[in-house]
Amino acid sequence: MRSPDDEDFDASAANYDEQLQRGLSISGETKEFFAVERVKWLRRRFAPMDFTAGRCLDFGCGIGTATPYLLDVLGATSVVGTDPSEASLEIARSDWKSRPADFVPAGQITPGSMDLAFCNGVFHHIDPSNRVGAASLVYRSLRPGGLFALWENNPWNPLTRLSMSRVPFDADAIMLWPGETRRLLVQCGFEVLFTDYKFFFPRPLAALRFLEPSLRRCVMGAQYLVLARKPS
């Protein structure tokens, strides 16, 4: 799902947080800030849709950073995380063993069993020739009418590029333009609902973050969300 060389992420699993923070430090925030804000944004956007997260797939879950937020903030009843790095899955199993969460290889996901699929910053680690296969796996995992919330790093944003250049495991990443991501999902059978842009203000400008909902169509956010639906 991420890289043809899964050993790269096995080697990074133990110090994943340290490596990631090298990049995030330019924002003045931590990975937890971004993790919870992504999920809070989904909660906000799902509210008028009357959508319940239910059973949630965390595709490319890594060490399970999003797990507590998907459960406690978004209200998912359970989380199934999958990742090609077995070392990362082992850490996730240990960290979240008391929560309704399972961390399994992709082949163990039951087709049509998920209400929601969540993915953050994964597809830029997948070789372009393998991206259709990865998105199709997500498609098959969802029930008809299920949603796929795909977050990616925005190549339009120069600070995003700078941040990624400081993270060792992002060295070989190939970023996806928003239109490229939408076309990928349509190719796999999804109906694209909308694209939002998020994370405009670093911590010194945090007082301006109340403006972010009105900026969701501005293409300069540090990340973007493509929300897509599997047709009923």
- Give one DSSP letter per residue of 183-221, joined into a string: HHHHHTTPEEEEEEEE----GGGGGGGGGGGGGTT-TTS
pLDDT in tens, 4-31: 345 555 555 556 666 666 667 778 888 8
Q: Among candidates 121, 114, 119, which has minimal Cα distance to 142?
A: 114
Q: What is the mean pLDDT of the chain?
A: 92
Instruction: Answer whether 118's CB lies under 8 Å from 69's CB.
Output: no
Asked if the model's pLDDT at residue 2 lies above 50, the reply is no
Amino acid 172: pLDDT: 87
Q: Give domain limits for the chain.
A: 7-229
Helix, strand, coil percentages for the chain (3-state, nearest 5): 45, 20, 30
Residue 7, SS3 per DSSP: helix
pLDDT in tens, 173-219: 999 999 999 999 999 999 999 999 999 999 999 999 999 999 999 99
CATH code for the structural domain at 7-229:
3.40.50.150
Q: In angstroms, rounded to a whole number, what is the distance separating the alpha carbons of residues 188 and 59?
A: 16
Q: Which residues pair with 148 in a beta bridge?
A: 117, 228
Q: In angstroms, rounded to a whole number, what is the distance separating the alpha carbons of residues 37 and 40?
A: 5
Half-sphere exposure of 133 (CA within 13 A, CB side): 11
Q: In angstroms, rounded to a whole number, what is the distance separating the alpha carbons of residues 69 and 215?
A: 24
Amino acid 4: pLDDT: 39
Amino acid 19: pLDDT: 65
Question: Model confidence at 1, in pLDDT bands (50, 70, 90)?
Answer: very low
- Cα–Cα distance list, 139 to 78, 127, 162, 195 (Å): 18, 18, 32, 18
Residues 6+ apart with CB under 8 A from 206: none
